Structure 1
Amino acid sequence: MNQDYIDWLYGLSAPMVALNKESGASYTSPFFFPGYEYIDMQKDWGIHSRETLLAMVFNMVDDGHATALSKHYFMYPRLSALDWLNYTEKQSDYDKVLLEFVEQTYSECGAGGIRSWDYARMGYILRNGITNKFITEEEALWILYRIGLRTQYYYSSWQSYFSGWFVGYQYWESLTNKEDLERLRCDLCRSSQTWTMTKLYTDEDSPYHHLPWHIEIEELEKPESLMEYAWS
């Protein structure tokens, strides 16, 4: 397998690397934190075994945080201004705030919306899973290959992929303010992780600098050890 292709697959978790670079995170190693022998994922993720890791990944890739907004990102460019207004007026007050957010961020991440927020985090989990010996590198690469097909379908560049992650981070940070809609509206307009985006574009190790987005997605054979799972 071409090394650039492997680096590209691990590069799908690049936003999480930028977020954790000072703690030793790597863009290209199979191990997210090469210097660690074990990563505790129980507290933040509830992951403590192979089964819980795979269940999390297979669920979150297609049914994660992005699902709350994916329909809106899909419809926004397909409706006229008047039809979008009519569509908005039929929504709850809470959803109207989210639709404003979609309007404001569509130009950054496109129809893919915040799917990369889920994709990058699952790449992070898979690479930590290799460290913990919950899964093999072969298994992780096959799952990342399937995620990679999704990313190239929904995003046109590293920039739009990174932006989708950043917008997803904004959305996730704001979820605690569902009852205070004005506070939610304000929180969706800003994020504390702007510096992470800067790192993605300035760090010479970032895939942004040395790997094309439109790399050929090499088909990988599904490992026998994953055949019991219907996910693909």
Structure 2
Amino acid sequence: MNQDCVDWLYGLSAPMVALNKKYGASYTSPSFFPDRTFVDMADDWGIDSREKLLNCVFDMVDDGHAPMLSRYYAMYSRFSESQWRDYCQAQDDYQKVLLTFVEQTFCVCGYGGIRSWDYARMGYLLRNGTTNKYISEEEALWIFSRIAERSQYFYSSWHHYFAGWSIGFQYWETLNNKEDLEALRCELTRASQTHTMKILINDEDSPCNRLAWYIDIDELEKPESLAEYDWS
């Protein structure tokens, strides 16, 4: 696999790099933090072993936070204006707030919605898992290549991908607020990650400034060491 392809795969975790740039995060190193020999993932993620890391990644790539809104983004992409309006009117007040959020953000993240919120975070875990020697770089790259296939299907550019992550972050911050709908509406309309997005767009090392979105990703053979996991 050529270096541009490797850099592209690691670029899927770029939003998390921008978020942690001041702590030494790298866009292209196999290790998310190149100057560290161990990254504690136990407190925030409950991960302290290979098994927990892989189970988390394989679960969260397709069944993380994104499915909570994915069907709405899909519906918005195919419904006529009147169909969408009729559907929204039939929902409860909480769902109406979420549907308005989807309608307002579709133009910047598209059909993919907030899937990249899960993809980028799992990339972050994979690279830290490589640092901690829970997984090998070969294993990490194969998993990244599977996330890449999903990413290129659901998004049409780095900017769409980054926007999906930012919107997902915004949604994640509101998950526990289901009672005060006015507060929820306000929280969903504020742009909480503008600084991180500026870094992603303006940083010359960011993948969006170095690599085309649609590149051929080498089809990697699944490592034997991951054969026990029915995931691809």
Please, what TM-score do these two structures have when normalized by structure 1?
A: 0.99
Distance 1:3 1:110 in 2: 29
Which residue does 2:81 correspond to in 1? 81
Asked whether the 8 Å contact 1:169–1:191 carries over to 2, the reply is no
Pairing 1:214–2:214 present: yes
Q: CA deviation at 1:102?
A: 0.3
Q: CA deviation at 1:85?
A: 1.1
Asked whether the 8 Å contact 1:30–1:130 carries over to 2, the reply is yes
Q: Percent identity?
A: 68
Which residue does 1:5 correspond to in 2? 5
Asked whether the 8 Å contact 1:201–1:208 carries over to 2, the reply is yes
Name the SS of the counterpart of 1:177 in structure 2. Answer: coil
Which residue does 1:40 correspond to in 2? 40
- One-letter identity of the residue aligned with 2:111: A
Which residue does 1:230 correspond to in 2? 230
Please, what TM-score do these two structures have when normalized by structure 2?
A: 0.99
Q: CA deviation at 1:174?
A: 1.4
Distance 2:164 2:213 in 1: 15
Name the SS of the counterpart of 1:176 in structure 2. Answer: coil
Unaligned runs of 5+ in 1: none
Name the SS of the counterpart of 1:62 in structure 2. Answer: helix
Q: CA deviation at 1:192?
A: 2.8
Counting matched residue pairs gives 232
Which residue does 1:21 correspond to in 2? 21
Instruction: Note the alpha carbon deviations across 1:58-105, whole angstroms, 9 max, x for none.
Output: 000000100000000001021111111111122221111000000000
Which residue does 1:183 correspond to in 2? 183
Which residue does 2:108 correspond to in 1? 108
Pairing 1:202–2:202 present: yes
Distance 1:77 1:230 in 2: 31
Distance 2:16 2:170 in 1: 14
Unaligned runs of 5+ in 2: none
Report runs of 4+ in structure 1 exceeding 4 Å deviation.
none
Distance 1:195 1:174 in 2: 19
Distance 1:181 1:54 in 2: 36
Distance 1:85 1:150 in 2: 30
- One-letter identity of the residue aligned with 1:44: D
Distance 2:80 2:151 in 1: 27
Distance 1:142 1:92 in 2: 42
In the TM superposition, 1:80-159 aligns within 5 A as 80-159=80-159
Asked whether the 8 Å contact 1:30–1:137 carries over to 2, the reply is yes
Distance 1:194 1:86 in 2: 33
Asked whether the 8 Å contact 1:158–1:208 carries over to 2, the reply is yes
Distance 1:185 1:128 in 2: 35
Which residue does 1:169 correspond to in 2? 169
Q: CA deviation at 1:189?
A: 0.5
Distance 2:34 2:92 in 1: 46
- One-letter identity of the residue aligned with 2:165: W
- One-letter identity of the residue aligned with 2:147: I
Q: CA deviation at 1:142?
A: 0.2
Instruction: Note the alpha carbon deviations across 1:141-199, whole angstroms, 9 max, x for none.
Output: 00000000000000000010000001101101111211111100000011332100000
Q: CA deviation at 1:217?
A: 1.5
Instruction: Note the alpha carbon deviations across 1:27-75, whole angstroms, 9 max, x for none.
Output: 0000000011110101111111000000100000000100000000001
Name the SS of the counterpart of 2:152 in structure 1. Answer: helix
